[in-house]
Amino acid sequence: MKIAKKNPGRLSNKTEDDPRWKALVDRQISASDQFVYAVMTTGVYCKPCSPTKLPRPENVVFFDTAAQAEAAGYRPSKRADKDQISINQKHASMVSEVCREIDLSEELPNLNEMAMKAGISPFHFHRIFKKITGLTPKAYGLASRKNRVRNQLALATTVTDALYEAGYNSNSRFYEDAQNILGMKPTEYRAGGVNVSIKFALGECSLGSILVAQSDKGICAILLGDDPDKLIRDFQDQFPKANLIGGDADFEKLVAVVVGFVESPEIGLNLPLDLRGTVFQERVWQALREIPVGATVTYTELAKMIGMPNSVRAVANACGANKLAVAIPCHRVIRSDGSLSGYRWGVERKKKLLAKENSISTVTITGLAGSTDYITEGLNM
């Protein structure tokens, strides 16, 4: 491919006045994800931090991404490949350290402060963190806090012990967070949901019987099955001491909305959900909600979607732990050979759901595996 000698909009007449030139001269690591530079005389491109010989400014052209450089006919330098591995390792180490800090912190860390510690801009830090974890820093912090509160309430001898073990120094902050996270008081959660009211109702749909339950925070369960009594028993096992209340007329309307969504998935389901899982599980569930109606992904592709390609088995387990049938569409995940794998509510139901959705849309999943813009209302920092 012939190398473009001129690239209007990228090659500056005064390269030395371009701030990217200074970043290149200084070998700024923080600029590594912001642009690449190509050398017209050699036909290769590199990261600005690459310890190669500094080219003459009149021979340099800047690109926002490596893909743009390659589209213009440049090839990556051998050093660039090694540099990228090193940069990825540094980013992973940085994010891992930040996650540990968030996990141990009572307050949600400030984005600017975290970026300052890492020595990069807030925008750059936010982008790297989300690329690696699949969540914004704030979303990760909220999910981590939720997981910590639940774990300590289950393990600690008293609520007071749980308070301190979860990293809180203030009673008021702990109780405020616990109420928001659990939808009930900490003492009620420890007691298995005693005196907590959860509305539920049974219905029928083309997939059989359906149970819909709602806490103060939102829909906490959508269960499918053949036996209504078994559905109720399964739900009672989750909150053995909760006050289960049969739905009133208004709640029956909500159940009708869910049933309508099962029958016509193209209408969408715009209802608040009460997700109850680990940080990792919730990342998987949010990614599942990004899969369009009529499309499917493999477990391997789903693992790539959340930026963890080596966690295929854990991703499959997270799908199996989903208690919100259809709302969290784990039925849209299939095996690499295209066959249908296990489904919490039966492979036949999975087959029917996919057939129904496929008749509505022929959307493909092309390009989705690179997306990290998860549906996380109220969590974006």
Q: State the DSSP string of 38-74.
A: EETTTTEEE-TT--SPPPPGGGEEEESSHHHHHHTT-
Q: Active-site residue 46, yes or no?
A: yes
Cβ neighbours of residue 82 closer than 8 Å, sequence gap 6 or more: none
Q: Which helix (H) or strand (E) holds 320?
A: helix 312-320
Please give the backbone phi and psi of residue 44, each rounded to the nearest 5 degrees, phi first.
Answer: -120, 160
CB-hemisphere CA count at 13 Å for 94? 25
Distance, CA of 273 to chain centre: 15
Question: Which residue type is seen at 170?
Answer: S
Q: Are 316 and 284 in contact (CB under 8 A)?
A: no
Cα dihedral 111, 115, 121, 122, rounded to 10, equals -10
Residue 205 annotated as lining a ligand binding site: no
Give the integer Cα–Cα distance in Å for 225 and 204.
10
**Shortest CA distance to 148 belongs to which of 187, 178, 115?**
178
Please give the backbone phi and psi of residue 91, each rounded to the nearest 5 degrees, phi first.
Answer: -65, -45
Distance, CA of 216 to chain centre: 24
Q: Active-site residue 99, yes or no?
A: no
Cβ neighbours of residue 56 closer than 8 Å, sequence gap 6 or more: none
Please give the backbone phi and psi of residue 30, each rounded to the nearest 5 degrees, phi first.
Answer: -65, -20
Catalytic residue among 49, 99, 319, 330: 330
| Paired sense of beta strands 44-46 and 75-76, if any | parallel
Give the integer Cα–Cα distance in Å for 358 and 350.
12
Specify the length of the chain in residues. Answer: 381
**Shortest CA distance to 152 belongs to which of 164, 162, 142?**
162
Q: Which helix (H) or strand (E) holds 237?
A: helix 228-238
Catalytic residue among 46, 49, 99, 220: 46
- As annotated, the binding site includes 46
Residues taking part in catalysis? 46, 330
Binding residues for Zn(2+), as ranges, are 46
